[in-house]
Structure 1
Amino acid sequence: MVEPLREYKDGYLISLNLGTPPQVIQVYMDTGSDLTWVPCGNISFECMECDDYRNYKLVATFSPSRSPSSLRDICTSPFCTSVHSSDNPYDPCAMAGCSIGSLVRGTCPRPCPSFSYNYGAGGLTIGSLTRDTLRVHGGDPVVLREIPSFCFGCVGSTYREPIGIAGFGKGVLSLPSQLGFLQKGFSHCFLGYKFANNPNITSPLVVGDLAISSKEHHQFTPMLKTPIYPNYYYVGLEGITVGNGTIIEAPLSLKSFDLEGNGGMLIDSGTTYTHLPEPFYSHLLLELGSGITYMRSNELEERTGFDLCYKIPCSNSSCSDDLPTITLHFLNSVKLTLPEEDCFYAVGAPKDSLVVKCLLFQAMDDDYGPAGVLGSFQQQNMEVVYDLEKERIGFLPMDCANYGLH
């Protein structure tokens, strides 16, 4: 499967061809969740606290009534059990009102009850599991492969989730899982944010053999595994180097898990910025600040919530700087120097021969779950390979806009 990814606002969109005839719905690619869902119902789809997206022109909603191949999933399916997070496979059927006889025999034909699905940042969706034909592009872009009975959420109302999501986690509901690619893997090359909202420039999302073959130039770090959160992708962060300085050693929590399954660094394309735990994060800020001579923009720091913002002089429309590089050190001696635009980014247009660039890292809020998160912003302009066959993740910096031309 090879599909184009495009950059929009704070994430990356993939187009799903669902139903008969196909309805094209654009959704965010999310490696930090399993469920694939689309907005359903032209008039009735409702999103609370989604004001930033009020003028969002891409939202197409899926209409099951316009697709004869569409049907509700039933309560005895593994997808129904999974979306209800139930340890008891009988539970969704009991909710649907089945008799105990049909529960024991696993013969209840009732529809899977409506679900609610939570996201780490506080988002919530409510909908019903639906099955329909999904069409994906093969290695040859002209060839469409049909996936009958693909299971997804038909969502009528959400909280802070204005756009549908394609889940790329390791659970049974995820898109790679349903396509049979969990023994292989996938790769993506996220475009730089300067291409946000440009529908003409895309980069490839590759799923299957092609994604993990001939990757000898990549640096690979092992996936960390926890039985508590088996469906997510974790790596171990050993430390961070600022410029040519000495390594700031990461806490043990960023490279291993405690008995409750907390710890590790989650790779999550559904989170925009990289988050680091305290006091490690403050140590990084101190190290960065001590080597930067530009004036701070306290006004913009207060307005944006970013912790380090600097006024960079511009001349002849050039705003070059000597801000320090940031290098992430992962397990297996992987050294990943982030492209400059992945760290300090101009948060507005130049004004009075100055442009303000801010560090787009943030502190972790929670003491539970992952100790840190590698967000999509810090994955711009690099190919990231999820080699599920060998349980490792690879990185290779490259110009993703040019990658998309091949």
Structure 2
Amino acid sequence: MMPGRRVLLLALHGLLCLQVQLAARAEMQGDDGSIEDGSSIHFPVSPPVVPDAAEERREHFRALEAKDRFRHERLLAMSSSARNGSRRQARQTSKVPEVLSDTSEFAELPMRSALNIAHVGMYLVSVRFGTPALPFNLVLDTANDLTWISCRLRRRKGKHYGRSSPAQTMSVGTDGVPVKKATTNFFRPSKSSSWRRIRCTQPLCGALPYTTCEPTQTASCSYHQKMQDGTVTIGIYGMEKATVALSDGKMAKLPGLVLGCSVMEAGANVDAHDGVLSLGNGEISFGVIAASRFASRFSFCLLSANSERSASSYLTFGPNPAVMGPGTMVTDISYNNDIRVGFGFRVIGITVGDQALDIPPEVWNDRLKYGGVILDTGTSVTGLVPAAYDAVTGALDSHLGHLPRADIAGFEFCYNWTFTGDGVDPANNVTVPSFTVELQGGAVLQADAKSVVMPEVQRGVACLAFRKLLEGGPNIIGNVLMQEHIWEFDHRTGIMKFRKDKCTNHHLKDNSNSTAAAAPDVHQAPRYVN
């Protein structure tokens, strides 16, 4: 890259940080014009839902592997795009229509899981965008920096591209074949008085990712996010507000959010929701912008897919008292050199039962190509590079290998065995061993049996819940292994906290006597910038 261009991009990067942080730190106002210190914002969240019918449940578990395979290809494409220059690549590979060229308060958003065989294992967050505020169900995505909503632009000849009606999206079916479905819940910028579109001529546009317009164009600042798995979203950027409800009944506006208004979506996993809520590592990430208003941190608790239908959990912005409890672990956040939007932790080793596995340390080194670990709520089954995968599955198979093997497409280690809830089956001489991930600083992540064994991929067949990442790393901890833990991330201090939790009782008003974590030093430089 030419030195002058690099200086320009750094300047634009700084401008982007300044604009979104100033907007996000603007005073939030309730219906009476103010918010009291210590007030909270929270919404109930329903748990992941697995179909009740036996065969649909089996299809659900088989679909997880196909969905995760496409997801991993998308993450690798994001890595390649970052290295090769996303704007140049977007312009060369896309044909886009011309017009598209600190406080003690906390905020919580509702989260639920989509019940759709073509879109399994994803957690959805309900967020109200625009003025007047309307609700949208967005996928919770910790490995993405682009927040977008399916959108309809006002049709003006020569002015706006709009979209066909009904809009068609594509998703991956149980057999891996794309399936078309209709999307009906759209965001309409023309009906929101708080929407402010960004133009190509604005310096801010030049600092946004995935842009496809030249600085001399007067059209709206457009983006085209295209991944190797065929997932595509095309639209325009704007600034928008979200509306959240306070625990005392007031409503509050969260301004300064960078929102993608998507007029075309296609590919894997875009049909069963209204868009994506980004919690990734990036200046335009919803997670980063919202957390900058609420003590620089956010947290969430992922309910088990086996939870009761009435159970609820939360995505929280600000200090969450529920994070601090018995068994809370603390470790540093690691930032991957290849997948810049991802973040995770530094692994020291893995123990299965009482056996410490022999895995090369470079597998966990996030500064090496294909090394390190990211936490990805959009992935279900944990993916490991071959050296780690072989060691983990070999150790688990030593406890289950006496069972008759079954051949299931997409899975390497499957057994003719009916999985019991706690992984203990004396009749078949089976006990699923403990699975412990040892982290930097002494923290440990202990997974239950239901997080390391998929219960019934076919009738009477259980499989190990791990994928081999033949396409390359980093290693990916999926939401199945993350479930029934509460996680908190503070990008300003670079600290992560987590502990085991059923995630069923996190109403903040019921935790007023809990000890909240101390607020970070507001003068310390943010850690999310790579």
Q: Which bin holds the TM-score, normalised by the shorter protein?
A: 0.7 to 0.9
Counterpart mapping for 1:333-348 below 5 A: 333-347=442-456
Match of 1:5, as an amino acid? M
Match of 1:325, as an amino acid? S
Larger relative helix fraction: 2
Counterpart mapping for 1:50-65 below 5 A: 50-51=172-173, 60-65=185-190
For residues 223-264 of structure 1, what are the alpha-carbon distances to aligned partners after superposition, in whole Å with 9 as ceiling and x for unaligned?
A: 224566554313222221111223333431313413xx6421
Measure the CA separation in 2 of the matches of 1:402 and 1:56: 35
Shift, 1:131, TM fit:
3.0
Match of 1:154, as an amino acid? C
Match of 1:40, as an amino acid? C
Match of 2:287 in 1: 176
Matched, 1:38 2:149: yes
Match of 1:308, as an amino acid? F
- Aligned partners of 2:166 and 2:184 also within 8 Å: no
Unpaired segments ≥5 residues, structure 2:
1-106, 115-119, 153-162, 426-430, 511-530
Match of 1:286 in 2: 394
Measure the CA separation in 2 of the matches of 1:153 and 1:174: 11
Match of 2:330 in 1: 220
Q: SS at 1:279's partner residue?
A: helix
Match of 2:235 in 1: 127
Match of 1:153 in 2: 260
Matched, 1:378 2:481: yes
Moved more, 25-34 or 127-136: 127-136
Measure the CA separation in 2 of the matches of 1:223 and 1:10: 25
Of 338, 349, 356, the residue aligned with 2:461 is: 356
Distance verdict in 2 for CA 1:147–1:116, change over 3 Å:
same
Measure the CA separation in 2 of the matches of 1:218 and 1:373: 22
Match of 2:484, as an amino acid? N
Distance verdict in 2 for CA 1:318–1:222, change over 3 Å:
closer
Of 108, 114, 119, the residue aligned with 1:2 is: 108
- Aligned partners of 1:238 and 1:255 also within 8 Å: no
For residues 178-205 of structure 1, what are the alpha-carbon distances to aligned partners after superposition, in whole Å with 9 as ceiling and x for unaligned?
A: 3324862111110112249x4x432011
Distance verdict in 2 for CA 1:362–1:115, change over 3 Å:
same
Counterpart mapping for 1:179-198 below 5 A: 179=290, 180-181=292-293, 184-195=296-307, 198=309
Measure the CA separation in 1 of the matches of 2:386 and 2:489: 28
Measure the CA separation in 2 of the matches of 1:248 and 1:155: 46
Shift, 1:126, TM fit:
1.0
Match of 1:74 in 2: 199
Of 159, 164, 170, the residue aligned with 1:48 is: 170
Match of 2:277 in 1: 166
Corresponding residue pairs, total? 374
- Aligned partners of 1:3 and 1:137 also within 8 Å: no
Q: Given the two structures, how large is their TM-score scaled by the length of structure 1?
A: 0.80
Unpaired segments ≥5 residues, structure 1:
98-109
Shift, 1:15, TM fit:
0.8
Q: Given the two structures, how large is their TM-score scaled by the length of structure 2?
A: 0.63
Match of 2:362 in 1: 252
- Aligned partners of 2:423 and 2:432 also within 8 Å: no
Measure the CA separation in 2 of the matches of 1:239 and 1:93: 47
Of 306, 326, 336, the residue aligned with 2:411 is: 306
Q: SS at 2:504's partner residue?
A: helix
Shift, 1:63, TM fit:
2.2
- Percent of pairs with identical residues: 22
Distance verdict in 2 for CA 1:69–1:371, change over 3 Å:
closer
Matched, 1:232 2:342: yes
Counterpart mapping for 1:3-22 below 5 A: 3-8=109-114, 9-22=120-133
Match of 2:432 in 1: 323
Larger relative strand fraction: 1
Matched, 1:263 2:371: yes
Measure the CA separation in 2 of the matches of 1:289 and 1:203: 34
Of 197, 206, 211, the residue aligned with 2:316 is: 206
